[in-house]
Chain A
Amino acid sequence: MAANLSVTSRQKLGWGSANAVAIVIVAIPILWIVSLSFKTPGAITDPSFWPAQWTWGNYSGILTSSTFVRPLLNSIGIGLIATCIAVVFASMAAYAVARLAFPGKRLLVAGALLISIFPQISLVTPLYSIERSLSLFNTWPGLIIPYVAFGLPMAVYILAAFFQQIPWQLEKAATVDGATPWQAFTKIIAPLAAPGMVTSAILVFMFCWNEFLFAISLTSTTSARTAPAALAFFSGSSQFTTPTGPIAAAAVVITIPIIIFVSVFQRRIVSGLTSGAVKG
């Protein structure tokens, strides 16, 4: 039996090379960006993959220019605020979906699903007009509001799955122990659903961080523009030079938080996404 189950060296070789090809395909564009970000402006068109001469110039350039630092701060601020709002409201909504029977529950769940698959491009033009007339255009709230709207459904779905796994008798026990419904939620249910809240917070934050369409359509200056959108507005040192190096450096900078998040919370994100399907 053991001999049948063990992987032969040929199989190992086959799987290994297939994996290697996949990794190379995925990694080359990223490594290319990294390499570009370290090249001097004159060496951008240099055919060699790795820079002949490494420089931090692109990084120091973007990190001292307000066209990138301000959008980076916008990204962090807008992302955190939208995530907080979305997770707080989503946990309340998810609790209701998981625990309470109320009229319109199916409508709420269906509506949330509908919003999460809604083509965002179709909303850009109306949102633009609405935000212009409400003077929300090019402000933080102008981006936070649509981000919360699109982050909520995802968070509600993840959290509802978590709440459903918490035995209802715990809440009854808390009630008999003298807890008000709010105390039962904050002292018993919420701490137990904390992994779900962390998962949904990470996913919502990543969505906000990566979002480009609204960021570029609903802002006009660096006062509210987020980092991904700001990249598109980089200009070269002169009218005739393309800002390839700075763009590559900025792309690397905004990727770093995502890489850290994913590597730290990888297991949790996967378990959060599948928690409704498989009992853990």
Chain B
Amino acid sequence: MADMVLDQVTKRYPDGTLAVDKLSLDIADGEFVILVGPSGCGKSTTLNMIAGLEDISEGELRIGGKVVNDKTPKDRDIAMVFQSYALYPHMTVRENMGFALKLAKTPKTTINQKVEDAAQSLSLTDLLDRKPANLSGGQQQRVAMGRAIVRDPAAFLMDEPLSNLDPKLRVQMRLEVSKIQKRLGATMVYVTHDQTEALTLGDRVAVLRAGVLQQAASPQELYERPVNLFVAGFIGSPSMNFMSGTLDGDSLRTPLGDMPVSGSLRRELTTAGREVIVGIRPENFQDPALVSAEVRPHGITFQATIDVLESLGAEKYVYFAKDLGKVKFVTELEELAKDAGRADSGATSETVVARLDPATRISEGDDAQLWADTRALHVFDPATGRNLSVAAATKASGAGLTRGSAAS
């Protein structure tokens, strides 16, 4: 196992397209890092560059302290699991798993031993002499994992390894991947567009957009303190609600009502301008009847007509329309809307989604009172997309983001 350093790694194609722009990421030995982002954000290109399947245009890639830019994949000591598994159809499971060792001229008995150990740990022992065509999707996926494990590489690369499985199996294999990574103590870089996978698996999640690293931080940090509009909108399902806001004295005017502004945030806002974008997560809404008296002053209550109510048992989602004002910083939001993860949340720019306690008596079509927790508010600079509330809080506490890094 080894650590991995991406230092200003850039991929520029001959036609001038910039796929990855000055990506810097330090991956510690044994760390599980997820690269996540909408399609075309450069995450797979990054992985291919690490594997050596694509050239690095600029910057440096170091594995275990050694620069490997010009090394062939063979000399990088890296194993990769592909989205399509890429099992060799003409070889048995045993031959598939031993192929890399055979190329490395490992003695036959060693190969057999290693393959059987790996097969044991993945419960593939009974399938060793079958061909991939005679395996189920989940079994094929395990063989692909086994092929990587057998090599005992410096690092594992995974390119959306679970996206071809059905949802139930995917959850099961997600646990499996997590267990394998812990057991091997392996350095692992995992690419996905699925934020659930990203948040559940990763020690650290790196969010990419258009080839630029937005933020790399622990899942909780990403969720609670997104550095910009894109990360805020991308992480979380259903995603954050965005609306326009104007600073007016001590309060922030929003379509939901006037919200109080803390001193540190106000200082940040005066330097950034008066027009802002306000973000609030669905779970920061509540039925006022269920909010205790001591918590209630930390939020505001407003009136809304409930368009749709979805009851999921453990929670209820309500959708209501509000004139949210023209959200000025549109490119990032449009990009988020285009991404598949957003489509199933049902939220559009005019609809606000709120997650309420299932005990709520609010029903569809009601003209109901709702409570919004203003402590959890995110305020973004419409010009840059920067999260001003996080910046303010950071300055107030006097501590920098430990591992997070903002590119924009």
- Cα A188 to Cα B82 in complex, Å, equals 16
Interface size on B, residues (CB 8 A): 23
Interface size class on chain A is 10 to 19
Cβ of B356 < 8 Å from any Cβ of A? no
Cβ of A23 under 8 Å from chain B: no
Closest B residue to A170 using CB positions = B86
Main secondary structure on A side of the interface with B:
helix
Within 8 A of A (CB), among B84-98: 84, 86-90
**Bound CA–CA A160/B166 (angstroms):** 33
Which residues of chain B come closer than 8 Å to A179, judged between CB atoms? 74, 103
On whether the beta carbons of A172 and B53 are closer than 8 Å, the reply is yes
Asked whether B99 lies within 8 Å of A177 as measured between CB atoms, the reply is yes
- Flag whether B188 is at the interface (Cβ < 8 A): no
* Residues of chain A within 8 A of B89, CB atoms compared: 192
- The answer to whether A192 touches B103 (Cβ under 8 A) is no
**Given A172-B86, A173-B86, A178 and B53 contact (CB-CB distance below 8 Å):** no
**Given A170-B88, A188-B88, A191-B90, do A178 and B73 touch, yes or no (CB 8 Å)?**
yes
**Shortest beta-carbon distance from A275 to chain B in Å:** 16
**With the chains together, A175 CA to B84 CA distance in Å?**
16
- Besides A167-B84, A176-B73, A178-B73, 13 other CB < 8 A contacts? A172-B80, A172-B82, A172-B86, A173-B88, A174-B99, A176-B51, A176-B79, A177-B79, A177-B103, A178-B104, A179-B103, A183-B103, A187-B99
Q: Which residues of A are at the interface with B, using a C-beta cutoff of 8 A?
A: 167, 169-170, 172-180, 183, 187-188, 191-192
Q: Which residues of the other chain, B, contact A187 by a CB distance below 8 angstroms?
A: 99
Contacts A173-B80, A175-B53: A180 and B86 contacting too (C-beta < 8 A)? no
Cross-chain contact A176 with B88 (CB below 8 angstroms): no
Q: CB-CB < 8 A to A177: which residues of B?
A: 79, 99-100, 103, 147, 151
Does chain A have a CB within 8 A of B243? no
Contact A176 B104 (CB under 8 A): no
> Quick one: closest B residue to A168, CB to CB?
B86
**CB-nearest residue of chain A relative to B80?**
A176
B103 and A176 form a contact (CB under 8 A): no
Q: Is B78 an interface residue (CB 8 A)?
A: yes
Q: B99 — which chain A residues lie within 8 A by C-beta?
A: 174, 177, 187
